[in-house]
Amino acid sequence: MPALPLDVSDLIIEILAEDLSDVPSVFSCSLVCHAFLHMCRRHIFGSVALRCSSEERTSTLNGLLSTTPVLSSYIRYLSIEGPLIISQNIIPDSTLSDTIKKFTHLRSIRLLNVCFGDGSPHDLWSSEQSGDLMRPGLLHLFHLPSLRGLRLQNCRDFSLADLVGSNIKHLDFEYLKVLQVPAAKLPDSSIKLQALVIGGRDNYIKDPEVYEEKCSDGKYFFDVSELKLIVLPYIGNQADDVVVLRGLFSRCHHLEQVELSVTNDTFSLFSPAKILVENSSIWTLKTLCIDVSGIGNDGKFDPLCGLSDEFEKMGDATAMECLEIQCTIYYEHMSVIDWDRWSQFDKVLAQLAQSKWPKLKEVSLDIVLKSYFFQMDGDWNDDLIDALDALDETHFQWLSSTKSLEFDFFLEEHQGLY
């Protein structure tokens, strides 16, 4: 909480203790106190979490908002945490549905562990279903003029029709199952997103409803053509997953930041470089964050999973400013690492930075060493650890010495059970 300097506090007390005939001074003190109250409220009520298991907390907040409605204007971020089953009206907290109707200036909402129905096509909400106690409140939240962000975590049977007319620009979901919505229930205009974050390692990627739902005019419900940020989940070597993601990716024409996680075979099936060229985002891309996890099979393997080759195909990314790479290596595979790949990475970035990526200013490489088994202290091969720790001197010589950009190199050792 912001604190007034002691000299200011002393001055206020001194003025109030003296002759109150000095009206301008008293008025000045009042203004200071009013500003301080505003700062305190903005700090205390900026973010609120409502848990269905804590009725007392929700009741307290409901009382505050009822007696002092102005407090609702300070609340910007709301988290509603279940378990909550809407269609069956399983609401442990009886005041929750009333409380959420009082929020007026939310910018972002997070829903965790919420089931909106039983999965049946007929379970779509309708205004005639008065038994849905939470529906009016949630629809009120979804359609607040100030709302820009929506995060759905572990939510089932969510109907996209409930977002019709909303102003959200940032959609973030993890383990989300949506209901198929009849085209007649969707509008003629799309929701234009600026950021799309898809979380989770197994995120029902093969269910295309979220990405491919269309409006009555045939356009996609979520318009991603102006998307600036896209965060994709773990991309394996499943052809169905790749097809869905490739289709989504190809509709993004002005990406500035891309974050994705890949393994050995990903780039042979899903080439970000190729798609970025095809959808014109290669010219606007500024930040690329990639989490690579290589696994050694037979013979030597590339710990960077072909990242150097992929970068070479992205020579036209002339707006590139920042690269963030996390490379996960398992201790059991270190003996079959192709160490020359580290040097290739250094060489490729040197060529790109000096010719095709003139705006590149930051490169971060974080190597995370894990193990399939529990490792006691002293079980690690110190020579191998030292070799990894010295990569910035032995294999990343250009990155470590250049003055044209900032290079951050980290080595993390996770000695535990993975």
SS3 of residue 276 by DSSP: helix
- Quote the pLDDT of residue 156: 85
Q: Is the distance from CB of 105 to CB of 70 less than 8 angstroms?
A: no
pTM of the model: 0.82
Of all residues in the chain, what percent carry a pLDDT higher than 70?
A: 75
Structure token pair of residue 81: 């945490």
Residues whose CB falls within 8 Å of the CB of residue 341, separated by 6 or more in sequence, listed in order:
302, 303, 304, 308
Q: Which CATH class is domain 46-181?
A: alpha beta
SS3 string, 371-401, reads: CCCCCCCCCCCHHHHHHHHCHHHHCCHHHHH
How far the first Cα of the chain sits from its last, in Å, is 40
Q: Is the distance from CB of 192 to CB of 223 less than 8 angstroms?
A: yes
- Quote the pLDDT of residue 5: 66
Q: Is the distance from CB of 320 to CB of 282 less than 8 angstroms?
A: no
Residue 215's closest CA among 141, 149, 165, 168? 165
Residue 193's closest CA among 173, 159, 170, 218? 170
- Quote the pLDDT of residue 237: 64
Measured in whole angstroms, how far is the alpha carbon of residue 289 from the centre of its chain? 13
pLDDT digits (tens, 9 = 90+) for 170-190: 999 888 888 777 666 676 778
295, pLDDT greater than 50: yes
pLDDT digits (tens, 9 = 90+) for 20-38: 555 565 556 566 666 666 6
Band of residue 212 on the pLDDT scale cut at 50, 70, 90: confident
pLDDT digits (tens, 9 = 90+) for 128-177: 343 466 778 888 999 999 999 999 998 888 888 888 889 999 999 888 88
- The partner residues of 55 in beta bridges, in order of sequence, read none
Q: Is the distance from CB of 205 to CB of 244 less than 8 angstroms?
A: yes
Residue carrying the six token digits 């908002």:
65
Burial track 241-269 (b if 16+ CB lie within 10 A, e otherwise): bbebbbebbeebebbbbbbbbbbbebbeb
Q: Which of 190-194, 224-228, 229-233 has the lowest mean pLDDT?
A: 229-233
- Quote the pLDDT of residue 10: 64
205, pLDDT greater than 80: no
pLDDT digits (tens, 9 = 90+) for 323-368: 999 999 888 777 788 889 999 999 999 999 999 999 999 999 999 9
Neighbour-count burial of 343, counting CB atoms closer than 10 A to its CB (0-12 exposed, 13-18 middle, 19+ buried): middle
User: In angstroms, rounded to a whole number, what is the distance separating the alpha carbons of residues 398 and 91?
Assistant: 60
User: In angstroms, rounded to a whole number, what is the distance separating the alpha carbons of residues 317 and 273?
Assistant: 9
User: In angstroms, rounded to a whole number, what is the distance separating the alpha carbons of residues 381 and 361?
Assistant: 35
User: In angstroms, rounded to a whole number, what is the distance separating the alpha carbons of residues 137 and 320?
Assistant: 43
Q: Is the distance from CB of 337 to CB of 377 less than 8 angstroms?
A: no
H or E element: which one contains 221?
none
Average pLDDT on 113-141 reads 62
- Quote the pLDDT of residue 35: 67
The letter for the amino acid at 39 is: M
Residue 143's closest CA among 89, 103, 94, 87? 103
User: In angstroms, rounded to a whole number, what is the distance separating the alpha carbons of residues 146 and 166?
Assistant: 10
